[in-house]
Structure 1
Amino acid sequence: MNHPKLEPLDEPLDVPPEHYPSLNPNPNPNPSLNESAPPAETNGMEIMKYTGPNTDDEILNPDALAIVPVPEETQISAAEPSSRKKPKRSAELVRVTNLEMEEEMYFRELVRKTRMLFSSLWIYVMNEGEDRRRLVNMRMVRTRGDLRAAAIMRDSGLWLNRDKRIVGPIPGVNVGDVFMFRMELCVLGIHGQTQAGIDYLSSSQSSNGEPVATSVIVSGGYEDDEDQGDVIVYTGHGGQDGNSRQVVHQKLEGGNLGMERSMHYGIEVRVVRGFKYKGCTSGKIYVYDGIYKIEDSWFEIGKSGFGVFKFKLVRMEGQPEMGSVMFKLAERIRDNPIEARPVGYVSLDISNKKENVSVFLFNDIDDNHDPLSYDYLVKTVFPPFVYHNAGFGGGCKCVDGCESGCLCAKKNGGELAYDKNGLLLRGKPLIFECGPFCSCSSMCGNRVSQKGVKNNLEVFRSVETGWGVRSLNLIQAGSFICEYTGVVLSRDQARLFTMNGEDSLVYPYRFGEKWAEWGDFSKVFEDYKRPSYPIVPPLEFAMDVSRMRNVACYMSHSSCPNVFVQLVMFDHSNVAFPHLMLFAMEDIPPLRELSLDYGAGGEWAEKLSICN
């Protein structure tokens, strides 16, 4: 009965290659997501042996070798290749400190790409499984999509932080980051146990024969847990039956001993909170809430009458607000914004009910109410000539629901653009949704972006970016967010506009091709080819947002964005004038700022002033 502190996991991680998706697994996997080596400065970052609670001028007890010493020449390199297909986790505990801004951006981008690959791969394998079940009259091997995605990435050497086991913060992982699946925590090296709530270095791996805990997952699985946010009374593992009831005394071994030893040596642990969340496909999410110190431990009789080990965890100061707190705040705002934040709300809906949901305007910094000065534009206004022969070629004739063989799917290269949950399967140069000339119903799964905003969005005033946009809901990777709207001008009209001194034009071609990163499986499938169909002519039009605009216009610029532009067609057939639809590149938690890559160049940077 002395089992680890577990969460449900009814499938093994080892997924046979024959059950991988239809694309062939890469027999010679590239073990890194990096396009190139990290910046030169990365090689000089400080990797330190942890010195417990001592100050810099104190000497660590040489006998207290709870952490394996790291030679000076040892560096942590996310790009370091591995010759092993399934490398075991390292027993070398290190801490990463003193990262420069460029290094932090490098690791953040590495984590972003890894997360994006996991999310898009999960969507792909799940959809591939549905297709197979429809086409093949046989029982498919029952394996969860997150396990399949993780196994494929592991076999391709794409799991991060395997060469070193990091104590404290993981480079590139921010407090508040949200994850749909526990396996993603393993892929990133945040928490290496697929089920156990305590991740620790075993006594057999430690240099002095003592286990050391590095992270815990708090998910309310034990009745004796007490979670007050900054202070947690965490119950050790073991002693439960299959119904999560405490039935025997716990023992001071394994993860429990690791927690006690980490407290003894002053080693902090990462804390991830797991809780149920409506509206996401996994049904449960995990939020990284930062670093905690283990300040006390004791043994007592629990609520069920059996002895349990308890550990008092106290959150360390100087960290950003906990992600779990932001989730609760966002929920209160959705229910009653004025009560949740009495000061700051300028408008509870700048769209004037033109959107499906309210778009809030919040400013607790100054008296700027500029977004109220514009007419809210829900959909892009195209010139009349764009709609000439709008129904050329006709639409699909599907009645019972669109399949991969329908006309619109053929326009997309032989597949529908979205899965059954409306998540984008992969980015493409252009996507055709079913439209007014199709016979399918309004509930068709190939009608996603045209249905408008589903998440409560908030335009807010920011010291850093001027105006910004954030969501009050969790936005899942691959989800549609909103359209980037404006009044479309031809090239000649744009020239006249700029000659008159107007600087409120947005040039769609400058958004670049971030769409190509969503669903880029080149690191795991050797036969992967970047989508090149449908072919789109150069986008030579501009959009005027000087009088009419929508919430998208206030999104800030970032070279490491969490939103990308996908070109979409549905209401006309002129491919030179597509809709600019915005999708999430990663799982975006509530109240985190949404950002776009508007493109490089001083000229475009000046254009950002039109919205900020």
Structure 2
Amino acid sequence: MKEENKLINNGRKRLGNVPGVEVGDKYHYRMELCVIGMHHQTQGGIDYMRRGGKILATSIVASGGYDDKMDGSNILIYTGQGGEPGRGKKATDQVLKQGNLALKNSMVKGTLVRVIRGFKETNGQSWSEVKMNMSPALVYDGLYFVKNFWKERGCHGAHVFKYKLERKEGQPELAMKELKKFSKAKAREGIRLNDISEGAGIYAVNTIDNERPPGFQYKTSMEYPQRYKPAPAHGCECTNGCSSFSKCPCTEKNGGKIPFNHNGVLVETKPLIYECGRSCKCPSTCYNRVSQHGIKLPLEVFKTKNKGWGVRCLCSIPSGTFICELTGELLQDMEAKERTGADEYLFDIGNNYDDHGLLWGLSSILAKLRSSPVCATVENGGFTIDATKRGNVGRFINHSCSPNLCVQNVLYHHHDKRMPHIMFFASVNIPRLQELTYNYKVGQVFDYDGNIRKKNCYCGSSECTGRMY
């Protein structure tokens, strides 16, 4: 990107905020900070630029590599760079040059410094796995003034520089302390119910009232009727794993490119994705096998203030990450129309299918109906997923006019386009504890008398239309 001059702001350094970046924005790699112009040092904690014959600090990354700490919500004591011990060498005194000098000059000039905080967060499926599964995160904390600096003896015996930074007033709060407090809590606030996923480690939490989630049978996979047995898909012969650069029938079905990267992240949405299946000779680690492996995130069902039950995650989620499948009982559309009840969850699938690509957004083939009596108009017929009595955590995901999930149709064990697996992926970087939502895009819903039914939307988005249907 550097060579092709594709860095944001042409790679130029700047003081103050970076356009398009807001307090709380989260990143997972230092290179992301370089690309958007937040912090140009791939390893160094202090970035700086020359202005008026002096070097001034533009940004720092406080990642805990040194003895950095917070003295109150708006104060950061930051340790200078250099002098750390290495293989076969002792720690040496830090020198007032480069980044250390830049921070001192910023104090004298009164210029603002961007602070990016780094910390470890839990990505385990349950709290017992916390120590085994930690991932780094970088969060923009806002602008700080350098108020003071001094020299003292560090933990390795050598002298280090200490800088006192004070957060500029009037900025949104990061609330990182609350996040850390949440992750360390042994007891959760409110009513924590037993595992609602029958061993999958998904719990329900209610801090609003004493209500419990509606009863249902938890299903980790789709339940097909006995009379319908889809023919297995023809598999590939890629014994060493599939690739976008080799001849592979699964790759060809996806338009010549595997839609996932080697980290299992969805990099391109399609009307339909073909993952490798049971008939394929590639190993289970093939990077064209993602959603079929099931839920890997620590998801939680929780009671919302005005939308009933919802779903959130106990760790942050990078864009393109697989969330969960929508499971339930597979019905033909006519059967689904006969099932009406107060707690009905119907999802029409396999309709309006075409071969045109999608941008990051939501497929229009999925309609979620939560009121009764209702019936969805289906032009070409098809199948419906009923998650009323059987389903998984996906049945609790709420609607939003500004969603953070996209819906992706996936086939792997069979290739019947009428009944794809309905998979949810993150369409943006999602902070920890933010509710997971997608756009139902139901359209008009009629009752049995032909009257248009209305259901208000309470998503709270600035783009809210006021109605789900």
Q: Same fold (TM over 0.5)?
A: yes
- Aligned letter for 1:596? Y
Query: Residue in 1 aligned with 2:370?
Result: none
Output the TM-score relative to the length of structure 1.
0.58
Does residue 1:347 correspond to 2:193, yes or no? Answer: yes
CA deviation after TM superposition for structure 1 residue 307, in Å? 4.4
Structure 1 residues 394 and 492 mapped into 2: Cα distance closer, same or farther (>3 Å)?
same
Contact residue 329 and residue 390 of structure 2 kept, 8 A: yes
Does residue 1:232 correspond to 2:76, yes or no? Answer: yes
Structure 1 CA distance for aligned equivalents of residues 59 and 343 of structure 2: 54
Structure 2 CA distance for aligned equivalents of residues 608 and 545 of structure 1: 21
CA deviation after TM superposition for structure 1 residue 560, in Å? 4.1
Structure 1 CA distance for aligned equivalents of residues 454 and 11 of structure 2: 39
Query: Residue in 2 aligned with 1:190?
Result: 38
Contact residue 359 and residue 457 of structure 1 kept, 8 A: yes
**Which runs of no fewer than 5 residues in structure 2 stay unpaired?**
125-132, 362-378, 446-452, 459-467
Does residue 1:366 correspond to 2:366, yes or no? Answer: no
Contact residue 123 and residue 315 of structure 2 kept, 8 A: no
Contact residue 538 and residue 576 of structure 1 kept, 8 A: no
Query: Residue in 2 aligned with 1:506?
Result: 347
Does residue 1:396 correspond to 2:242, yes or no? Answer: no
Identity of matched residues, %: 38
Contact residue 386 and residue 574 of structure 1 kept, 8 A: no
Counterpart mapping for 1:271-290 below 5 A: 271-275=115-119, 284-290=136-142
Structure 1 residues 199 and 345 mapped into 2: Cα distance closer, same or farther (>3 Å)?
farther
Does residue 1:250 correspond to 2:95, yes or no? Answer: yes
Query: Residue in 2 aligned with 1:380?
Result: 222
Counterpart mapping for 1:450-599 below 5 A: 450-463=292-305, 465-497=307-339, 504-508=345-349, 516-517=358-359, 541-599=383-441
Structure 1 residues 363 and 422 mapped into 2: Cα distance closer, same or farther (>3 Å)?
same
Contact residue 267 and residue 320 of structure 2 kept, 8 A: yes
SS at 2:416's partner residue? coil
CA deviation after TM superposition for structure 1 residue 460, in Å? 1.4
Structure 1 residues 373 and 266 mapped into 2: Cα distance closer, same or farther (>3 Å)?
farther
Contact residue 238 and residue 250 of structure 1 kept, 8 A: yes
Contact residue 168 and residue 270 of structure 1 kept, 8 A: yes
- Aligned letter for 1:296? N
CA deviation after TM superposition for structure 1 residue 237, in Å? 3.3
CA deviation after TM superposition for structure 1 residue 447, in Å? 3.1
Structure 1 residues 442 and 192 mapped into 2: Cα distance closer, same or farther (>3 Å)?
closer
Contact residue 13 and residue 37 of structure 2 kept, 8 A: no
Structure 1 residues 169 and 469 mapped into 2: Cα distance closer, same or farther (>3 Å)?
farther
- Structure 1, residues 224-268: CA drift from partner, whole Å, max 9, x if none? 5445673432122345576696424422x5543443454456555
Output the TM-score relative to the length of structure 2.
0.73
CA deviation after TM superposition for structure 1 residue 568, in Å? 0.6
Structure 2 CA distance for aligned equivalents of residues 214 and 221 of structure 1: 19
- Aligned letter for 1:220? G
Counterpart mapping for 1:79-90 below 5 A: none
Structure 1 CA distance for aligned equivalents of residues 352 and 415 of structure 2: 23
Contact residue 290 and residue 315 of structure 1 kept, 8 A: yes
CA deviation after TM superposition for structure 1 residue 455, in Å? 1.6
Contact residue 408 and residue 424 of structure 2 kept, 8 A: yes
SS at 1:409's partner residue? helix
Contact residue 326 and residue 394 of structure 2 kept, 8 A: yes
Query: Residue in 2 aligned with 1:202?
Result: 50
Report which stretch shifted further, 564-573 or 465-474: 465-474
Report which stretch shifted further, 462-471 or 503-512: 503-512
Q: 2:162 aligns with which of 310, 313, 327?
A: 310
Contact residue 288 and residue 323 of structure 1 kept, 8 A: no
Contact residue 48 and residue 58 of structure 2 kept, 8 A: yes
SS at 2:424's partner residue? strand
CA deviation after TM superposition for structure 1 residue 601, in Å? 5.2
Structure 1 CA distance for aligned equivalents of residues 146 and 112 of structure 2: 7
**Which runs of no fewer than 5 residues in structure 1 stay unpaired?**
1-149, 334-338, 520-536
Give the aligned length: 422
Contact residue 539 and residue 577 of structure 1 kept, 8 A: no
Report which stretch shifted further, 573-582 or 375-384: 375-384
Structure 2 CA distance for aligned equivalents of residues 510 and 267 of structure 1: 56
Report which stretch shifted further, 281-290 or 589-598: 281-290
Q: Which has the higher contact order (CA 8 A, sep 6+)?
A: 1
Structure 1 residues 256 and 431 mapped into 2: Cα distance closer, same or farther (>3 Å)?
same
- Aligned letter for 1:329? F
Does residue 1:178 correspond to 2:21, yes or no? Answer: no
Structure 1 residues 213 and 400 mapped into 2: Cα distance closer, same or farther (>3 Å)?
closer
Structure 1 residues 162 and 328 mapped into 2: Cα distance closer, same or farther (>3 Å)?
farther
**How large is the RMSD of aligned CA atoms in angstroms?**
4.3
SS at 2:179's partner residue? helix
